[in-house]
Structure 1
């Protein structure tokens, strides 16, 4: 029988273990953020495994970037929605202030 190659998930787990001391040295408030980055990488482990890249850090970093971009897109949509609600209120306030000056 042939020997099996480690999966991408195995490689990602090994990377996380290599960074364990770094994580421990982080401030407590940053440790959950660090953990979240690896969660992002695991979210795309199937696609990363298909890539079969020589350096598993590259697809991990790209996966992290992809998740962070998705979060940014979500924030931008929320900001646009809030601005759509606020803009008519600002317009009304400007009109009200103009009437007060007269």
Structure 2
């Protein structure tokens, strides 16, 4: 049987393992935020694997930025909705 190439999810695990010392050195309050970054990467693993970029950290970073951009849009929509509600009560 031939060898198979590692999946992008395997690559994510390897990078996460490489950064485990960094995570451990973070303050406890920052560790969940660090973990969430890898959650964002895993959420887009299929797209990143399909890209098959020669530097896997690049699609990982783009996945994180994409999720943060989505969150910013959600928060802005929430703030805009609150602003509309405040104006209607005046």
TM over 0.5: same fold?
yes
* 2:77 counterpart residue number: 77
Q: CA deviation at 1:2?
A: 2.2
| Structure-2 separation of matches of 1:80 and 1:64 | 24
TM-score, structure 2 normalization: 0.96
Unaligned regions of 5+ residues in structure 1, if any? 93-102
| Structure-2 separation of matches of 1:64 and 1:18 | 18
Match status 1:54 vs 2:80? no
| Structure-2 separation of matches of 1:88 and 1:49 | 48
Structure 1 segments of 4 or more deviating over 4 A? none
| Structure-2 separation of matches of 1:69 and 1:22 | 25
* 2:44 counterpart residue number: 44
